[in-house]
Amino acid sequence: MEIRAYRHANKEDVLALLRLDTPQYFAPAEETDFTQYLANYGATHYVLLMSGTIVGCGGIGITADKTTGKLCWGMIHPKWQGQGLGKHLLLFRLKELQAQGVTRVVVNT
């Protein structure tokens, strides 16, 4: 398992994840929102890989006052759900936020 920063070249892979998790976890209309998010905030989005294949992703954000961190757009490929990968991705993102000094975390849904 590897977690690394999202790259623009990963766009189709993460959009495929979103589509696989639609409509169970996401509404079809959210694809446009996710695409805009990646264009604007891709630098704070991460991908989770198993054997070199992207099977999950999730992002973070920080409020202007730098006290509150945000977890956003977390998703795992349905085939890989229930195996603890989401937990690993969550803990990774929480550590990233902690390293930036946030004192509170919220989840954007």
The pLDDT of residue 108 is above 80: no
The answer to whether the pTM exceeds 0.75 is yes
Can you tell me whether residue 69 is helix, strand or coil? strand
Q: If you average pLDDT over residues 24-53, what whole number do you get?
A: 96
Domain range list for the chain: 2-107
Strand order in the sheet with 45-50: 2-5, 45-50, 53-62, 68-76, 104-107
pLDDT tens digits for range 65-100: 999 999 999 999 999 999 999 999 999 999 999 999
Whole-angstrom distance, CA of residue 55 vs CA of residue 23: 18
Match domain 2-107 to its CATH number in 3.20.20.140, 3.30.360.10, 3.40.630.30, 3.40.50.20: 3.40.630.30
